[in-house]
Amino acid sequence: MKKQDRAAIILKNLNKIYPNTPIPLKHRNTYELLIAVLLSAQCTDERVNKITPNLFLKANNPLDMSKLNTEEIYKIIKPCGLAPKKSRAISNLSKIIYKDFNGKVPESFEELEKLPGVGHKTASVVMSQGFGHPAFPVDTHIHRLAQRWGLTSGKNVVQTEKDLKNIFPKKSWNKLHLQIIFYGREYCKARSCFGLSCKICTLCYPGRKKPVKTKKA
């Protein structure tokens, strides 16, 4: 089966399983989304969603957040892990957004990725889920499934993103990256399936006998 045929199977099945793709991180504006995505690094969405209401009660915009000291931010976000680094990044990026962008989250990859604590994946999520621009953020679930489905060599997330963008239509990216994440969490988990048992894996590789050893991101 050709790669394009597998891609068509994947799209068809994911659209059936997940016709709707709610954004996992709770937020009320683009700034809150940016902070939530930053906090989600090495932390579950569930935990982030428990922490952000307390943080956003104190400050849900760059001006108010910049008025908090890093210790105040740290005490709230501590359960997320990497809290010292994240609290400094939140404080610093809030000051930059308020001063240099009139309090509005910048709407470009280049400007987002210059902000403290904001890498390409975080910028991609904000551009996709916050502004609606086509993007394909690659997390561990997407990186793993893309390898199990034979869509990428899996050398790194940069290569995985490039390969997925090349095979799937641009109009599908924003919805598809969420669908793959949902599917990876529910059906094709890191410590199960291994490319052998979930519906999409068996449809893409009906004759596969050996488990797939995926390369970590």
Start and end residues for every CATH 1.10.340.30 domain found in the chain: 30-130
Cα–chain-centroid distance for residue 128?
10
CA 205, CA 192: separation in Å to the nearest integer? 16
pLDDT value at 48 more than 90? yes
Alpha carbon distance 57, 152 (integer Å): 42
* Eight-state DSSP code of residue 40: T
| CA-wise closest residue to 146 among 133, 161, 134 | 161
If you compute the radius of gyration of the chain from its CA atoms, what whole number of angstroms results? 18
Nearest to 118 by CA among 162, 86, 83: 86
Over residues 166-192, the pLDDT tens digits come to 999 999 999 999 999 999 999 999 999
Query: For the domain with range 3-21+136-204, which CATH number is right: 1.10.287.3610, 1.20.1050.10, 1.10.1670.10, 3.90.1150.10?
Result: 1.10.1670.10
Q: How much of the chain exceeds pLDDT 70, in percent?
A: 100
Catalytically annotated residues: 121, 139
- pTM for this structure? 0.93
pLDDT in the model for residue 215: 87
Other beta carbons within 10 Å of 22:
8
Tell me the pLDDT tens digit for each residue of 23-32.
Answer: 999 999 999 9
> Is pLDDT of 217 > 90?
no
Residue 155's pLDDT band (boundaries 50, 70, 90)? confident
Q: Where are the CATH 1.10.1670.10 domain residues in the chain? A: 3-21+136-204
State mean pLDDT over 90-94: 98
For 41-56, what is the mean pLDDT?
A: 96
Check pLDDT > 90 for residue 92. Answer: yes
> What pLDDT shows up at residue 216?
82
Whether the per-residue pLDDT at 115 is higher than 80: the answer is yes
List the CATH code of the domain at 30-130.
1.10.340.30
Look at residue 1 in the predicted model and tell me its pLDDT.
87
Q: Which amino acid is at 52?
A: T
pLDDT recorded at residue 130: 97
Q: What is the mean pLDDT of the chain?
A: 96
